[in-house]
Amino acid sequence: MAAIAHVQGPRGTRLAYAKTEGTGPCVVFLSGYRSDMAGTKAVHLEAWAAARGRAFLRFDYAGHGQSGGVFEEGCIGDWAADAEAVIAHAAPGPVVMVGSSMGGWIAAILAKRLPEIAGFIGIAAAPDFTEDGFWAGFSEDQRRQVMEEGQLLVPSAYEDPYFVTAKLIEDGRDQLVLRSPLVMGWPVRLLQGTEDEAVTRKTALRLLDHIDGPDVRLTFVKGADHRFSTPDCLAQIEAALVEVLG
């Protein structure tokens, strides 16, 4: 595995990343909400890239994994800025973004910011989830609590309960990507499990329909859940990378 390095983020936070040197475009893994760069998909793809002499970058947003900061103080805009800063520092050339869950949303935000993008792979991509998932699913009492008290404790299907903050909700509304044009003039591959309990098929189809690009494809994998980390699912990601990298 590549050694962990650090760079100062846009808000002064120490951000951790691991860069594997190799030929470009650099494959950049964007992890999900409350996930980090030590996850199964990130580590697997790092090894896949290293075996092929391919440049690869994984990193942690502020408040995640080995980076500094407090998770509850962050929001989508902050984490997108972290991603942009790490990429500018460690992989300034063309990149292929692989965005898992929230990472898919952040990749869509970066599609409007990064100077050189060669492709995008979305794995259970979750654009606009703070509004269409959290907020839409809250009761009136929950909405009042999060906005008036600043946070709301919600259960998780994977880990301990966690707080959703008013900052996350309010900032999320400034980062929405499904309400305005989303142009991606490079190959796009979207992968979605049929048994995903966090991101619906409707979300995957909505993103497919919304992206304006010449080469956009969506693959449903029967039986796969939100983790999308079984050997078969990892092979699907590898195949998508081979296609996008050409």
Q: Which residues are catalytic?
A: 101, 196, 226
d(CA 15, CA 27): 18
Token duo for residue 118: 């060669």
Nearest 5°: CA angle at 4, between 125 and 240? Answer: 30
Which residues, 6 or more positions from 209, have their beta carbon under 8 angstroms from its beta carbon?
A: none
